[in-house]
Structure formats: C-alpha cells, structure tokens
C-alpha cells in the first residue's frame, strides 16, 4: 500500500506540563489507507453531492471565490489533513454543488446542496437572540470575523498563507458592505434567518465530512495532549498572572528555570514555566508579532462560538483547541489557534474545559445548561447596566445646583431606582423588616454612591438627603420609630367618607343646647386641634357660679372598634414638635368636625360644676351638648385682656379702663365677655388655693417653646426660635390648666360614685426634701427643680386612686379626646353609661390599653425629646457666638461637678459642668456660651463664660482686682450636654 503523505504542522500544548527543550515537533503521519476503501466507506455522501448539485440555490458573495470549480490538491489546508483522491473528489462534489447553486435561484438551495453532500439535515429555526447578533454583524457591513480572518487587516496571515475562510463566511453574512443593508426591515430579518441557517448547515456539512473521514480510518488533527514543546527565546506564550492570561514574548532566560518575557504593553518581567497556559507553535517571533496576535484576538467575534457550539453539541465528543480553530476558522495557524484560545478563555456559556491525557479539551454544554447560563448572564448584564445607571443618577442629583433641579422624593419612589431608594431608606430608618436581599441592595447602592462600605443608618440618611429624598432637616427621630407624618391612605379614605356621609348622632335626643353661653377657647396661636372651651354662668339658686368645660366630641363621629378608632389607638396621642404636629386622627377630622370651631355650632361633651367660694366643687354633671364658640383667643390675647382688667380694677393707672376697652375691642370681646373671663380667672385662683390647702405639689418650672416653620425643613438656614413660656407667669395659661384639672376631678368623682371603669390617673406621694430645705431655696424655678427631682411616675388604671401631686382622690383626663386616646376611651364609656347601654371598654380592657399606651408613650416622649434636642443644637449653630444669660438651679450630679442651669430667655434647662471649687448657690446668675453644637446627634456643649451674681461672681471680682487693670479674666471651662 502506498502511504499518503501528511502535511507537517507544528503542534501546541494548552497547559504547562511537559515543556521541554528543543523546537516544537511536527505531527505524526497518519496511517495509510487505499482510496478505494475510503470511497467505499462513503458512497452515500458522494451520491448525495451529485444529486444536490442540480438542486439550485445560490450563496451571494461580494468578492472572493464562491467555490472551487475543479478538484483541489490532495492536501486540504483548511482541514489540516491530507485526504485520498476519493475523498477529495467527494469534497469537490460538495464544492461543485455550492458553485453550481451560485448561478441558480436560491441561497438556501446551496446550503441544502452542501448538507446533502454529506448526509446532514438543515438546522431548526435560528434562536432570535442569535438572529439579532448576526443581524448586528451583517448590518455593520463587516463582522469582526471578517477582520480577524483577513477582511482588510490580514490578521490571520501572520502565521501562514491567507485562508479561504473569509470568502465563505463573508458570503454567508451578506457580502460585507451592503447586500443586507439594502433590504427592508422585514426582508432583512428573513434574509438574516436564512443566512444563519445556511451558515450552520454548511459548517455542519464540512464538519460532518471531516468526522466521516476520521471514522473511515482517516487521520484527524493530532490531539493537544500529544504536543511537545519547549520554551526558548522567540517563543510566544500566554501565562497566568493574577487569574488573567497575559500574552508575552520570551526574550531571555532568567536563571536556570525561569524566563524573561515582554508583554503587549512593553513591560519586561520574569515568568515561571508553570505559569504558561499556551505555547504557540512556529517562530521565532518578534514584538511586531506580539502586537498582531493581540490585535487579532481583540477583534474576535464571540458570537461565532454559538455556531461552533451547535455543531459540537451534535457531535457530542470533546474537542481540542486545534479542532475548534479548524471548526471556527478553517485554519489551524498559530494566529487562529491563539484567537480560538482567547475566545474559549472568555467564554462562560457554550463550552466547559477539562483535561484529557494532560491536554485541555472542550465539551459543548447541554442546551438546557446554556439556556440557564444565558439567562444568568443576561440578568447579570441587566444588573450591571442598572448599577451604572444608579451611579449616573446619583452623580446627576449631586451635581444639581438647586433642590428644585433634583428629583423629589416622589419621583425617586416612582422611578427606575425605587427599589434602591427603598432599601437605602430602610437602612436609614433602621427597619427591622429589611431582609438579606434588601440589605445587600442597600449596601450595593451605598457603595456605588460612594457613601461608605457599611450599611450605616447615618450614612444612608446622609445619601438620601443629598439626593433630595430626605429634606435637610428630616425628622428622623420620628421615622426611625415608625411614626409617619401622615396617616395611611386607607385611613384617609375612611375619614373622607365620614365627612361626605356623616353618621347619625347617637345622642341627638339628649344633647343639651348650651349655645346661649359665651364660650372661650384659649390656645397657642399655632393650635389647629381645638378640643376645649370654657363658659361661666350663675349657679342655680344664686349660690356661687357654675363653670362649664366644653370638650370636643369625636365619639359622635366614630364608634369604638371602627377603623378610625383603631388608627387613633395605634398612635396613642398627637405629637407636638417644633415644626408642627403629628395628629392622632387625620387632619381633615381633627381640624374639622372634631374641633370646636369659632362661630360654629359644634357637638360637645360638657362638664358642669358648681364652684364654692373656697374652690370646692359640687353638683358635677357631664352631658352631650351643642355649643357655639363666641371668642377664640390666644394666650397672649387673653393675658392682655386679664392684665388690663386687673389694672382697671386696682385703679393703678388712669388709663387702665381705656386699655381694657382697647384690648376688648381688638379681640372682639365686649365688657360682658371680659367680665366672664375675669370670673373664670378668679375661679382658677380659688381652685389652686383649694388644692394647695389639700397638699398639691406645684413645680413652677418654665418650658422652652421651640418653633420652626414647616416649610423650612429643607432649608440650609431655617428660622428657629426658642422662647420661654410658663403657666405660673401667664394668667391665661394658669386659668386653662386649672379648668382642665377641674374637669378631670368632676369626671373622676362621677365615675367613682357610679363605679364606672374609666382610665383613672394616679400618682404615689413623693419623698420630698425637708420643708426647711425647700424654704431655703428661692421661690420659682429653683424650688421647682428641687421638687421635680423627687416626683414619682404617674400611672393609669381602671380603678380610682389618689393623685398625690394634684391632691385629688379621683382624676380622669377627659379634655383632649382629639389628641389623647385615653380621653377618648373615657368619653366612650361615659356616653354609653348615660344612654344606659353596655360599656364598650371593660376594666380589663382599660388596663390593657393603659399598659400599651404607657409603652408607646415612652417611645413618643423619646421622639419628642430627640426632636427638641436636634433643634436646640441647630438654634445654637445658627446663632454661633451668642452668649446666654442663665440661672443656676442646683447640682445635677455634684460628684461629677454637673450643675443644672436655666437659660432665662429661652426657658431651656441644661446641664453644665462647672470647674471644681466654684462657689455658687441656686439662683446665682451666669453667662453660658456654646462650644459645640451637632444637630445630627442632638448634642451641644456650653462653657461658663462668667458669673454675674452670687458668690462665684464676687470671687471673680476679687481675682480681677488682684490681677490689676488691663487684663481680661478667662472664662471658666465647663460643659453643657443636650
């Protein structure tokens, strides 16, 4: 038998093992077989080729050869092996069929002819995703395959002769520069699908011919595992560095084992042989080759791996690197081998790598696995693009010059990054419902925005403030406790329905008409929920006076257990904050029909008592009523009226009567109205004297009234005011406080006598300092501070008990049902009792509600204190450099040198550290100045700038005199903490 010669080709290794000295060796010669044997092995293929040659069809080409017109030589470079004459003839028959089809009618006929020549069948409809990718390549005019294969760059000619691959694939993709682009969209899509099918069919036909040749005894490409190679100067290698493949040229030895290499950036470094993942055949190479190989790999069209995968999947066997190079490029030159290697290294979808016989082989993944991986990759790509979009959106918001140019909170919440905003917001507010996925999303969002590497609440809040989601002064103290400014939408809808369709009044028949009485409401100017008013009239029989305390009647509108009732129960009470209020009920109700509105007839629950001259009460009654508010006053207006009336009565000034008349006119009060107001004031004074005689404990400490306009919450410099208020310094505030206590005493007496379960408030007797100690303290804030430190916490229960500080045996808070849920419970039970109906709340239910309210009240109180501390610190920051006159109240913790001070103009109590040995007494005056103020934490610090009265001031004067004139004494360092 005559042996068929084999074209010698250099081999390669795809791993680092067995790299030895010497030049790369050529492939072994395949075993010889007679041509007749091969022809006998595939008669069907030959006959099919002949039958298909006349089937018609054509593959258009803008250049190059569409197929050989005559048999080629026995050496077939595009397959990389030599075939006998019979197979060459068979191959020529296939090529001839394609060439003949070029002149016929359809492109698909050529593909069918090629497929028929090797007994293959046309593939199923192409995947739409691949259609789009091929369409993109075709529409561009020339794919990256074209560039790699020599379509203008000649990239694959570096290691040998130009291959015919470019012409074949260029033809299949539409001839490069225009054949597909000239089609209409629908025609273009159809043409692309046909050409994809042609491409796959022809590739399958060629590859099947090769497999048949191998099965019949032919010699395929030598396996990668048989390659032997050596590292030497001029070798071209790829080696691993930091899990990345680096293409490099070997330029010199580095000791006995290692080599110096130069990479594509020109960097020279040492390489260990075990790092080598690919040693390319041929050479020696130079730096120009290094750049050419890199450029070829850079232009690789990764989409072609899908076609190779379909073919390899049908074959089912693992393929070596040269097998895949031949399949992809019809070329096993070093350049094609390297490009294939880089494509496979970048591939994570179609092929998986393993080792067989010491060499790397590649197995096509199953279709289901590829589909799953594709979905994962598409999801990952979508996530990458979404993350990039988030970064861009954050940068744009930060770059906005004004708040108006930024998206608002609603826009962020409805936009494409709503999930990220929600996750970051959950971190900022410390939401316990944030799951692991939400935490990961928030952390990613913070990191991408450069807001830290941890899910830190303050960092998250800071980012949301930057983006305009939070206002600059967002009330985080509330939000972090789950307290929203507004009610849920469902609650608001229920409130609107109630307004539209008022329920029948269950007490319509028993309501007492008190509209003939003058009714005064006295509140802060900012009050919007008006829940109490006052009237006075002569008592029946002419002995004394009857005082009426009219209270708003929400239970005329809502029933126990209704949705609105439960909403109020959940909130427990209205919060009053420096910038406004968070109402217990929706504002449309709380500020609407629930309130006692000026000039309107309103439903109320009126508490009436006859007051004796000594301040004692008798004949208490409570009744549903109708009242009309005749005089809506602020505390300042009422104080002016009372002061003018007092001056006129005392006759201390000639113009007192004129002043009283002016004040009355200004506030819409005539002389009779002023007389009623004065009568109420006298009753309040009598009531206080009565309670003091029974042992009540008053704490005459002023309060700090902090005010911030709601519209300023997003301003960099909001308007913040702090002013002192005190019921002991305001006649009208003292009047209102006493009347509210009077109503609570009357309801408590009625409830106790009838054994009604009501929310009775009680307080244990405190352990007070000795009387002599209290007497030694200045009256007013200093004594109030000492008493406050001794007071016990009050409690609420369904049974009456003594309230020590009020000196009452039974007391029920009743006058704030719009803003305090316990008062609403008292209303509901009292009204049911008056109607003779079952009580909606049992004693056990009231005790349970009281416990829940106490727990919620602690949270609400903490939120109020934190909000106040925030705004005090902001006030100090805005007024930096100011000094504040203060009064020393006494020691807070003497062992730590911490003293309590009262900022006299602001009414704000603070704790400051005074230097050891400072001699001061309660009531001494000083000046405090801030040294630190941090609104974010609510922390502020003061130092004592100097004493203005008392023993400490005298010591300062003596020290100043001793130091001589012209020297300024230094302020005493101390601290005030908020």
| Separation CA 117–CA 10 (nearest Å) | 31
10-20: per-residue pLDDT in tens?
333 333 332 33
Phi, psi of 783 (to 5 degrees): -70, -40
Give the pLDDT band of residue 199 (cuts 50, 70, 90).
low
* Cβ 908 vs Cβ 889: under 8 Å: no
What is the arithmetic mean of pLDDT over 13-28? Answer: 32
156-188: per-residue pLDDT in tens?
333 333 333 333 333 333 333 333 444 455 666
At residue 541, the pLDDT reads 80
Which of 38-42, 664-668, 815-819 ranks highest by mean pLDDT? 815-819
The proportion of the chain whose per-residue pLDDT surpasses 90, expressed as a percent, equals 63
At residue 667, the pLDDT reads 59
What is the arithmetic mean of pLDDT over 759-769? Answer: 95
275-322: per-residue pLDDT in tens?
999 999 988 999 999 999 999 999 888 888 998 999 899 888 899 999
- Whether residue 206 is predicted with pLDDT greater than 80 in this model: the reply is no
Q: Which residues contact 56 (CB under 8 A, 6 or more apart)?
A: 101, 104, 105, 106, 109
Give the pLDDT band of residue 915 (cuts 50, 70, 90).
confident
Give the pLDDT band of residue 203 (cuts 50, 70, 90).
low
At residue 630, the pLDDT reads 95
Lowest mean pLDDT across 258-267, 377-386, 630-639, 660-669: 660-669
What is the arithmetic mean of pLDDT over 55-63? Answer: 31
At residue 790, the pLDDT reads 93
Q: Which residues contact 208 (CB under 8 A, 6 or more apart)?
A: 118, 119, 120
- Whether residue 78 is predicted with pLDDT greater than 70 in this model: the reply is no
* Number of neighbours of residue 352 by Cβ within 10 angstroms: 15
595-650: per-residue pLDDT in tens?
999 999 999 999 999 998 889 999 999 999 999 999 999 999 999 999 999 998 87
- For domain 880-948, the CATH architecture is Beta Barrel (2.40)
- Per-residue burial over 482-492, b if 16 or more Cβ lie within 10 Å, else e, is ebeeebeeebb
What are the tokens at 532?
């109490």
In angstroms, what CA-CA distances link 384 with 90, 391, 714, 773? 51, 11, 33, 73
At residue 196, the pLDDT reads 59
DSSP states of 785-854 as a string?
Answer: HHHHTTPPPPEEESS---BTTTTBSS-B--S-TTTBHHHHHHHHHHHHHHHTPPPSS-HHHHHHHHHHHH
- Whether residue 37 is predicted with pLDDT greater than 90 in this model: the reply is no
* Cβ 224 vs Cβ 320: under 8 Å: yes
- Whether residue 138 is predicted with pLDDT greater than 60 in this model: the reply is no
At residue 99, the pLDDT reads 35
Sheet of strand 268-271, all strands in order from the earlier edge strand to the far edge: 268-271, 258-263, 244-254, 236-241, 276-279
Q: Is the omega angle on the peptide bond into residue 284 within 30 degrees of 0, that is, cis?
A: yes
At residue 843, the pLDDT reads 97
| Separation CA 674–CA 676 (nearest Å) | 5
What are the tokens at 703?
């309060």
CA-wise closest residue to 768 among 699, 843, 689, 669: 699
What is the arithmetic mean of pLDDT over 666-688? Answer: 90
Q: Reduced to 3 states, what is the DSSP secondary structure of residue 288?
A: helix
Beta strands in 71-156 (DSSP E): 75-76, 81-82
| Separation CA 458–CA 466 (nearest Å) | 12
What are the tokens at 87?
């197979």
At residue 207, the pLDDT reads 56
In angstroms, what CA-CA distances link 781 with 702, 728, 729, 774? 7, 10, 11, 12
* Cβ 581 vs Cβ 574: under 8 Å: yes
**Residue holding tokens 């006159």?**
885
923-957: per-residue pLDDT in tens?
999 999 999 999 999 999 998 999 998 766 666 66
What is the arithmetic mean of pLDDT over 482-504? Answer: 94
CATH 2.40.50.140 intervals, the chain: 880-948
At residue 218, the pLDDT reads 36
- Whether residue 118 is predicted with pLDDT greater than 70 in this model: the reply is no
- Whether residue 274 is predicted with pLDDT greater than 80 in this model: the reply is yes
| Separation CA 445–CA 450 (nearest Å) | 9
Cα–Cα–Cα angle for 223, 227, 228, rounded to 5 degrees: 170
CA-wise closest residue to 790 among 773, 776, 802, 811: 773
- Whether residue 877 is predicted with pLDDT greater than 70 in this model: the reply is yes
What is the arithmetic mean of pLDDT over 865-879? Answer: 96
| Separation CA 306–CA 617 (nearest Å) | 96
Whether the pTM exceeds 0.75: the reply is: no
- Whether residue 434 is predicted with pLDDT greater than 80 in this model: the reply is yes
At residue 962, the pLDDT reads 45
Q: What does the mean pLDDT of the chain come to?
A: 79
Which of 128-132, 612-616, 657-661 ranks highest by mean pLDDT? 612-616
């Amino acid at each position: 038998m005559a042996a068929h010669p084999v074209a010698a080709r250099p081999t390669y290794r795809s791993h680092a093992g067995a790299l030895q000295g010497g030049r790369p060796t050529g492939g072994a010669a395949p075993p010889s077989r007679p041509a007749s044997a091969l022809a006998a092995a595939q008669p069907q293929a030959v006959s099919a080729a002949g039958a298909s040659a006349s089937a018609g069809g054509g593959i258009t080409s803008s250049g190059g050869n569409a197929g050989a017109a005559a048999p080629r030589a026995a050496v077939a470079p595009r397959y990389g092996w030599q075939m006998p004459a019979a197979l060459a003839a068979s191959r020529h028959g296939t090529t001839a069929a394609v060439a003949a089809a070029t002149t016929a009618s359809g492109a698909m006929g050529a593909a069918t002819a090629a497929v028929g020549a090797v007994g293959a069948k046309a593939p199923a409809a192409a995947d739409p995703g691949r259609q789009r990718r091929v369409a993109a390549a075709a529409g561009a005019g020339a794919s990256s395959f074209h560039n790699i294969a020599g379509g203008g760059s000649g990239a694959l000619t570096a290691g040998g002769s130009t291959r015919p691959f470019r012409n074949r694939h260029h033809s299949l993709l539409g001839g490069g520069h225009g054949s597909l682009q000239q089609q209409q969209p629908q025609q273009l899509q159809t043409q692309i699908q046909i050409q994809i099918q042609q491409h796959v069919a022809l590739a399958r036909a060629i590859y099947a011919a090769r497999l048949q040749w191998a099965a019949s005894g032919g010699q395929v490409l030598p396996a990668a595992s048989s390659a032997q190679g050596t590292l030497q100067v001029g070798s071209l290698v790829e080696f691993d560095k930091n899990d990345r493949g680096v293409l490099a040229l070997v330029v010199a030895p580095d000791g006995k084992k290692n080599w110096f290499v130069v990479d594509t950036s020109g960097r020279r470094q040492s390489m260990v042989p075990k790092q080598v993942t690919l040693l390319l055949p041929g050479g020696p190479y130079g730096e120009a080759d290094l750049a050419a190989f890199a450029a070829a790999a850079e232009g690789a069209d990764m989409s072609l791996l899908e076609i190779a995968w379909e073919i390899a999947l049908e074959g089912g066997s693992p393929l070596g690197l040269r097998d895949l190079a031949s399949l992809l490029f019809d070329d096993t030159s070093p350049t094609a081998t390297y490009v294939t290697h880089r494509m496979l290294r970048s591939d994570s979808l179609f092929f998986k790598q393993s080792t067989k016989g010491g060499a790397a082989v590649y197995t096509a993944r199953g279709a289901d696995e590829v589909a799953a991986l594709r979905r994962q990759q598409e999801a990952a790509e979508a996530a990458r693009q979404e993350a990039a979009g988030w970064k861009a959106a954050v940068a744009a918001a930060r770059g906005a010059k004004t708040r108006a140019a930024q998206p608002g909170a609603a826009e962020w919440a409805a936009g494409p990054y709503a999930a990220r905003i929600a996750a970051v917001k959950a971190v900022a507010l410390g939401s316990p419902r944030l799951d692991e996925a939400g935490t990961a999303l928030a952390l990613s969002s913070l990191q991408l925005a450069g807001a830290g590497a941890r899910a830190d609440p303050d960092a998250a809040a800071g980012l949301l403030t930057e983006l305009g989601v939070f206002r600059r002064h967002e009330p985080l103290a509330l939000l972090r406790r789950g307290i929203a400014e507004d009610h849920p939408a469902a609650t608001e809808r229920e409130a609107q329905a109630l307004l539209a369709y008022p329920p029948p009044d269950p007490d319509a028949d028993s309501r007492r008409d008190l509209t003939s009485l003058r009714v005064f409401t006295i509140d802060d100017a900012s009050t919007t929920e008006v829940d109490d008013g006052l009237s006075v009239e002569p008592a029946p029989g002419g002995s004394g006076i009857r005082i009426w305390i009219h209270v708003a009647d929400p239970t005329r509108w809502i029933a126990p257990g209704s949705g609105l009732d439960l909403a109020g129960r959940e909130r427990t009470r209205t919060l009053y904050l420096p910038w406004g209020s968070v109402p217990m009920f929706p504002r449309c109700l709380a500020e609407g029909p629930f309130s006692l509105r000026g000039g309107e007839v309103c439903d109320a629950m009126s508490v009436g008592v006859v007051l004796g001259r000594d301040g004692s009460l008798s004949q208490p009654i409570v009744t549903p009523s109708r009242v009309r508010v005749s005089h809506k006053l602020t505390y300042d207006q009422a104080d002016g009226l009372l002061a003018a009336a007092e001056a006129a009565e005392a006759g201390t000034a000639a113009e007192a009567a004129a002043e009283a008349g002016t004040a009355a006119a200004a506030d819409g009060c005539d002389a009779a109205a002023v007389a009623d107001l004065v009568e109420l004031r006298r009753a309040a004074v009598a009531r206080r004297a009565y309670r003091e005689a029974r042992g009540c404990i008053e704490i005459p400490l002023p309060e700090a009234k902090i005010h911030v306009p709601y519209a300023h919450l997003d301003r960099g410099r909001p308007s913040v005011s702090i002013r002192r208020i005190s019921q002991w310094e305001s006649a009208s505030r003292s009047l209102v406080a006493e009347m509210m206590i009077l109503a609570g005493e009357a309801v408590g007496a009625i409830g106790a006598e009838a054994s009604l379960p009501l929310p009775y408030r009680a307080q244990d007797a405190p352990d007070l300092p000795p009387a002599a100690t209290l007497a030694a303290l200045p009256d007013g804030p200093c004594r109030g501070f000492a008493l406050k430190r001794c007071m016990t916490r009050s409690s609420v229960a369904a049974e009456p008990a003594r309230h020590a500080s009020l000196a009452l045996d039974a007391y029920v808070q009743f006058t704030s049902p719009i803003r305090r849920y316990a008062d609403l419970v008292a209303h509901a039970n009292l009204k049911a009792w008056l109607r003779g109906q079952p009580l909606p709340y049992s004693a056990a239910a009231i005790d349970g509600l009281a416990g829940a309210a106490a727990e919620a009240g602690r949270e609400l109180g903490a939120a109020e204190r934190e909000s106040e501390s925030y705004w005090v610190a902001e006030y100090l920051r805005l007024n930096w450099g100011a000094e504040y006159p203060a009064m020393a109240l006494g020691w807070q913790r003497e062992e730590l040198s911490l003293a309590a001070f009262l900022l006299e103009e602001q009414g704000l109590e603070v704790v400051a550290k005074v230097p050891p040995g400072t001699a001061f007494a309660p009531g001494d005056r000083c000046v405090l100045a801030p040294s630190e103020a941090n609104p974010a934490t609510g922390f502020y610090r003061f130092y004592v700038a100097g004493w203005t009265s008392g023993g400490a001031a005298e010591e300062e004067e003596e020290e100043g005199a001793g130091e001589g004139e012209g020297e300024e004494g230094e302020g005493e360092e101390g601290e005030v903490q908020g």
